[in-house]
Amino acid sequence: MKLHLLHTMLLLATSLTSLPSLAQSAYRCGDSYSQSPCPGGTVVDINDKRSQAQKAQTDAATQRDARQAQAMEKARLRKEANTHKVDEIAPKATAPQPGKSKAHAKKKNHEPAYFTAHEAGSKKPVKKKTAVKGNTAEEAPPASKP
């Protein structure tokens, strides 16, 4: 009998604490929320307007998503563990790619091992062509002064 009474009281206590508090209000004070009123604050309706079916549907979706996330995490951890085991057994070797050989590899432009700064907008100096000994008819020798 006492056990039955204890169970009833426990059930009654848990049901009373799970009921939403209808007399409680929340206030929006600028960018924050509070249970106590503030100057210039507005009252915010905090009652859940969803039906029991909507709440049950949302709870079921949340539980389903949590189970799916746990399954995905387990699969990822299993895959990572297998990858690490394979790497420990046989380290990756650099195998040549089929169809490409060193003889056919495209040569890269050789860049010097050092850096030379140039002025912005400057161009590489153009080498002047040297004149061939003996002047041509078009070129006249420089005039001499008397």
Print the SS3 string covering 77-103. Answer: HHHHHHHHHHHHHCCCCCCCCCCCCHH
State whether residue 67 is helix, strand or coil: helix
Give the pLDDT confidence score for residue 61 in this predicted structure. 97
CB count, 10 Å around CB of 29?
14
Indicate the pLDDT class of residue 140, thresholds 50, 70 and 90: low
Note whether 70 and 59 are within 8 A (CB).
no
State whether residue 29 is helix, strand or coil: strand
Backbone angles phi, psi at 86, to 5 degrees: -65, -40
Query: Could you report the per-residue pLDDT of 14-46, keeping only the tens digit for each?
Result: 665 555 545 578 999 888 988 888 888 898 888
Residue 121 pLDDT exceeds 80: no
Query: Could you report the per-residue pLDDT of 72-106, keeping only the tens digit for each?
Result: 999 999 999 888 777 666 655 555 566 555 555 56
Residue 63 pLDDT exceeds 70: yes
Distances (CA, A) of 122 to 16, 72, 109, 119, 126: 86, 59, 22, 5, 12
Say what the alpha-carbon torsion angle 56, 62, 66, 72 is, to the nearest 10 degrees: 120
Backbone angles phi, psi at 32, to 5 degrees: -125, 165
